[in-house]
Amino acid sequence: MPAAVLDDMHRQIAGSLTGRVTKWFVLVAVVVVTGVMAGFSAKLADVQNNEASSWLPGSAESTKVLDELSEAVDPNDIPTLVVYHRDGGLTDDDLAAMEADGKEIAGIEGVTGQGVLTPAAAEAAAAQGAPVPTLVSDDGEVAYLYFVLNFGSDGWNAIPAAADEIRDIAKIDGGEVHLAGYGGQAADSAEAFEGIDTNLIFATLAVVIVILLFTYRSPVLWLLPILCAVSANFIATGLVYLLAKYAGLTVNGQSQAILSILVIGAGTDYALLLVARYREELRRHEDRHEAMAFALHRAAPAILASAATVAIGMLCLSFAELNSTAGLGPVLAIGVAVTVVVMVTLLPALLVICGRWVFWPKRPTFRSAEPTAGGLWARVGRAISPHPRRVWVVTTGLLLLACLGLFRLDTSGLSTEETYTKEFDSIKGQKLLTEHDLSDNSNTIQVTTATDRAADVDRKSTRLNSSHGYISYAVFCLKKK
Per-residue DSSP letters for 38-105? Answer: HHHHTTGGGG---SGGGTS-TTSHHHHHHHHHTTTS-TTEEEEEEEEE-TT---HHHHHHHHHHHHHH
Phi and psi torsions of 412, nearest 5°? -75, -10
- CB 471, CB 121: distance < 8 Å: no
Phi and psi torsions of 145, nearest 5°? -100, 150
From the centroid of its chain, how far is CA 172?
A: 36
Q: Give the residue from 132, 125, 124, 136 showing the smallest Cα distance to 83.
A: 136
249-278 per-position pLDDT tens digit: 878 777 888 898 999 999 999 999 999 999
Residues 6+ apart with CB under 8 A from 412: none
- How confident is the model at residue 165, as a pLDDT? 93
Helix, strand, coil distribution of the chain in percent, nearest 5? 65, 10, 25
Average confidence (pLDDT) per 10 residues, the chain, 481 residues: 51 67 91 94 79 61 63 76 94 93 92 90 87 87 93 78 92 92 85 71 89 89 94 95 86 83 93 92 89 89 93 90 80 95 94 91 81 77 89 94 85 66 83 85 67 67 51 46 44
Separation CA 413–CA 397 (nearest Å):
30
- How confident is the model at residue 376, as a pLDDT? 80
The helix/strand/coil state of 446 is strand
- How confident is the model at residue 340, as a pLDDT? 95
- How confident is the model at residue 458, as a pLDDT? 65
Helix (H) or strand (E) run with residue 207 in it: helix 196-216
The helix/strand/coil state of 115 is strand
Residue 156: how many other CB atoms lie within 10 Å: 21
- How confident is the model at residue 77, as a pLDDT? 83
